Amino acid sequence: MTVRTLCLFVWLWLAVIFSGYGQQVSFSQLPASYQLFPRNQNSLATVPISGQVRSLGYSRVSMQVTRNQSPYRYVSQLLTYTADTAPFSLSATISAERAEYGVKVFLYRSGASDSVLVADRQNIVAGDVYLLSGQSNAASYQPTYTYQNEYIRTVGIYTNNTNYDDYNPADTLWGPCGQTGYTSAGVWGTELARQLIETYGIPICVINGSAGGASVEHLNIRNAANPMDLTTNHGKMLYRVTKGGLKGAVKAYFFRQGENETSGNAPAWPTNFEKLYQNVQLDYPEISRFYLFQINLLSGHLEASASMRDYQRRASSIHPLIVSHATVGTIGYDGIHYNVAGYAQTGAQIFKIVARDLYGSTDTAQITSPNVQKVYYRTAARQEIVVQFDEGQKIIWPNDTTVADTYGNPTTHKLTQWLLLDKQPGSVLAGQADGYRVTLSLSGSRTEQKLAYLPPNYPLLDGMGNPLPGYATIFPGPLLKNQRGLGAFSFWDVPINAPMAPLNDFIAQILSTRSVRLTWTDHDSEQSYILERKRPQDASYTRLVQLPAGSTTFVDTNAASAGVYTYRLRAITALAESTADASVTIDCATGSELISVQSGNFSDITTWQCGRVPTVSDRIRIAVGKTVTLTQEASVQSLTLDGTLRFGPGGNLKVVPQ
């Protein structure tokens, strides 16, 4: 039995059960079985029931609510007739949780205690609503994907012929997202919902309105006179949202599309996307985020494919509501689509971003695709280029990749092949990653003005459309990724800015075992300074402070471990940077003054500056606001109490001057 047949059978069965009361009660509001009600800021939703009793002889109407089939709420209203009609309006509040609610509506006869069941709705939940649009990689339907979850819901259907067939206005039933194309959320849409449910316990509605192979021109058609026009893709989605009672409650919109244009109208993609984006703004002004995917590399001839992908990258800087995500590097790629594992990987990656943006997740480090921020020649010699990605990214420069080309011959790809100066390969000889910066070594002094990462298409084709020798069928990399495995956005024709003058006289001077003074000569063109630090235990630099233009000194008062401290000063403009490094060695030898850096146990190395426990040869100072607890025998050379020394069981401190 198909899903549509089953839904029709259920509807007919309910119609038979309650047909006897159709002349007695008419409902203007009545929940549907399996309906998801959007939750509010308090993670609650209101389930309303209203209508009219159109037959005399009834005294009241009641609403009985169950939670997981146990009694939960009871609401009753006395009926007041005008002529032979009595209006009623009831509601109950339910929680957004992994629980299913049932609602039954009863009529009570005047002067009698018996009641008549006039409506029965089950499996109702409260939660969040997401919309998915695009072409086949947005649909991401895979018949071998078997995961189901009773708390992932949808309303209406995905029509035949990959959502191109006419939409039947009667298709407004709610149900679980299923294993058929009619009710599927797609693999990555389902995986996103699954992780949201498992992490936050909130049911999720996913409406997937994508259309296989669709151009953005097909998807951006909106009938201004009738936005729910069922002959348009946009209208079908809006109809499902409206009939599901979800208007004004959509949390985010996901758009994954562009493969169609790689062999067609790629130059017009930005303009056509802007029209689609404005349509979404018109009909879903409530959305908190618009998630846009940058597509992977496909075969073809169009250089404009690279410009299109670059626009997908830059859209987040054009529209603050947009968050972009790169798909290059996703596993299971066949040159157009992905296997189940690849789509599931996308769902897991997108979940982390949605969790950060909409659910307050603190897992925020390197969860987004590295995005180029600025590119510039490092020095006046112009033999190196610095590529800076977003701060916090830790970029990995990959090894070479050896694969078989289309004709079975081994071929080795280097990352330097995919770094193009003025659209041409061959000038980048090597590269090195350091945190969020990548430094490229060039073949001599260069004059090129633009840098690109990744070619417009892959594989390259001859005039007959056949892959050239030395190219695999599917793009194999290597790629720039961060430490969490997210591929960097491809970019195209990013300006290479001129180098800044060097920073001079950057000096680090030890003031104490805890303090370091940094001084430098003011740069002549900086807009601000950023000071970074790498402590002995750190693998890379982290930002210490941002300072205004004109600054020439800073004191680091938190040098709390023995060893080499390295500082990097960056003179910043919007186009380029100039950097200088300086280092000092903090001496925490025996006999120095050890200062408590936090409250804690005397014998805990993290309590003390320099990361060691004091000995009889040390002078110790307990800092203001810090409490150190001693629970054993200990000896020190001297003790200065600016904070508190607390003695626990067995605690005894001897001061032995030397």
Domain architecture of the chain: domains with CATH: 3-124 (2.60.40.2550), 128-359 (3.40.50.1110), 372-495 (no CATH), 504-586 (2.60.40.10), 593-655 (no CATH)
> What pLDDT is attached to residue 1?
41
> What pLDDT is attached to residue 2?
43
> What pLDDT is attached to residue 6?
42
Structure tokens at 637: 């050379």
How far from 572 is each of 183, 500, 553, 590, CA to CA, in Å? 52, 9, 16, 41
How many CA within 13 A on the CB side of residue 51?
Answer: 24
pLDDT tens figures, 471-507: 999 999 999 999 999 999 999 999 999 999 999 999 9
3-state secondary structure at position 653? strand
How many CA within 13 A on the CB side of residue 417?
Answer: 19
Q: pLDDT band at 558, cuts 50/70/90?
A: confident
* Residue, of 103 and 509, whose pLDDT is higher: 103
Residue 63 has pLDDT above 90, yes or no: yes
**Which residues contact residue 488 at a Cβ distance below 8 angstroms, ignoring those fewer than 6 apart?**
326, 328, 369, 370, 371, 372, 389, 395, 453, 479, 480, 481, 482
- DSSP of 126-160: EEEEEEEEESHHHH---TT-----TTEEEES---H
Residue 420 has pLDDT above 80, yes or no: yes
**Which residues contact residue 482 at a Cβ distance below 8 angstroms, ignoring those fewer than 6 apart?**
366, 370, 393, 394, 395, 396, 488
Question: How far apart (Å, rounded) are the C-alpha atoms in residues 203 and 176?
Answer: 11
Averaged over 357-377, what is the pLDDT? 97
Residue 463, class by beta-carbon neighbours within 10 Å (0-12 exposed, 13-18 middle, 19+ buried)? exposed
Beta bridge partners of 437: 388, 434
- Among residues 167, 161, 195, which one has the least CA distance to residue 181? 161
Averaged over 311-340, what is the pLDDT? 97
Q: pLDDT band at 12, cuts 50/70/90?
A: very low
Cβ atoms of 72 and 93 within 8 Å: the answer is no
Cβ atoms of 390 and 371 within 8 Å: the answer is yes
> What pLDDT is attached to residue 23?
64
Averaged over 217-222, what is the pLDDT? 98
- The amino acid that residue 501 corresponds to is A
> What pLDDT is attached to residue 422?
98
Residue 435 has pLDDT above 60, yes or no: yes
How many CA within 13 A on the CB side of residue 304?
Answer: 14
> What pLDDT is attached to residue 182?
86
Averaged over 574-602, what is the pLDDT? 82
> What pLDDT is attached to residue 538?
84
> What pLDDT is attached to residue 14?
41
Residue 11 has pLDDT above 60, yes or no: no
Question: How far apart (Å, rounded) are the C-alpha atoms in residues 26 and 21?
Answer: 9
Residue 291 has pLDDT above 70, yes or no: yes
Structure tokens at 414: 């280097």
**Which residues contact residue 83 at a Cβ distance below 8 angstroms, ignoring those fewer than 6 apart?**
none
**Which residues contact residue 609 at a Cβ distance below 8 angstroms, ignoring those fewer than 6 apart?**
513, 514, 560, 561, 588, 594, 595, 596, 597
- Buried b / exposed e along 566-598 (16+ C-beta atoms within 10 A): bbbbbbbbeebbbbbebebebebeeebbbbbbe
Lowest mean pLDDT among 285-299, 369-383, 547-561, 633-647: 547-561
> What pLDDT is attached to residue 3?
41
Question: How far apart (Å, rounded) are the C-alpha atoms in residues 552 and 549?
Answer: 9
Residue 61 has pLDDT above 60, yes or no: yes
**Which residues contact residue 465 at a Cβ distance below 8 angstroms, ignoring those fewer than 6 apart?**
none
Q: pLDDT band at 4, cuts 50/70/90?
A: very low
Question: How far apart (Å, rounded) are the C-alpha atoms in residues 139 and 189?
Answer: 8
Kindly state the helix (H) or strand (E) to which residue 621 belongs, with its residue range: strand 619-622
Cβ atoms of 454 and 418 within 8 Å: the answer is yes
Averaged over 628-647, what is the pLDDT? 93
3-state secondary structure at position 350? helix
Cβ atoms of 324 and 485 within 8 Å: the answer is no
Lowest mean pLDDT among 358-367, 417-426, 555-564: 555-564
Cβ atoms of 647 and 639 within 8 Å: the answer is no
Neighbours of 167 (CB within 10 A): 22
Phi, psi of 187 (to 5 degrees): -65, -55
- DSSP of 12-58: HHHHHHHGGGTTTEEEEE-PPTT-EEEP-TTSEEEEEEEEEE-SSSE
Average pLDDT, the chain: 92
Question: How far apart (Å, rounded) are the C-alpha atoms in residues 415 and 438?
Answer: 12
> What pLDDT is attached to residue 245?
97
Instruction: Supply the DSSP symbol for 262.
Output: G
Locate the DSSP E strands across 462-618: 481-482, 491-495, 504-510, 516-521, 528-534, 542-548, 553-556, 563-572, 577-586, 593-595, 600-601
Structure tokens at 451: 């840098």
> What pLDDT is attached to residue 166?
92
Instruction: Supply the DSSP symbol for 166.
Output: P
pLDDT tens figures, 64-102: 999 999 999 999 999 999 999 999 999 999 999 999 999
Task: Give me the percent of the chain exceeding a pLDDT of 70.
Answer: 94
Q: pLDDT band at 10, cuts 50/70/90?
A: very low
pLDDT tens figures, 167-195: 999 999 999 997 577 889 999 999 999 99
> What pLDDT is attached to residue 15?
40
Residue 629 has pLDDT above 90, yes or no: yes
Tokens 């009667």 correspond to 170
- Among residues 203, 192, 222, which one has the least CA distance to residue 132? 192
> What pLDDT is attached to residue 619?
87
- Among residues 330, 304, 346, 656, which one has the least CA distance to residue 487? 330
Kindly state the helix (H) or strand (E) to which residue 342 belongs, with its residue range: helix 340-359
Longest dimension (CA), the chain: 105
Lowest mean pLDDT among 32-41, 136-145, 595-604: 595-604
Cβ atoms of 385 and 376 within 8 Å: the answer is yes
Residue 232 has pLDDT above 70, yes or no: yes
> What pLDDT is attached to residue 8?
40
How far from 628 is each of 41, 559, 600, 618, CA to CA, in Å? 43, 20, 5, 16
Averaged over 274-287, what is the pLDDT? 98
Question: How far apart (Å, rounded) are the C-alpha atoms in residues 452 and 177?
Answer: 41
Residue 465, class by beta-carbon neighbours within 10 Å (0-12 exposed, 13-18 middle, 19+ buried)? exposed
Cβ atoms of 555 and 517 within 8 Å: the answer is yes
Averaged over 563-588, what is the pLDDT? 88
Question: How far apart (Å, rounded) are the C-alpha atoms in residues 349 and 313?
Answer: 17
Residue 275 has pLDDT above 90, yes or no: yes
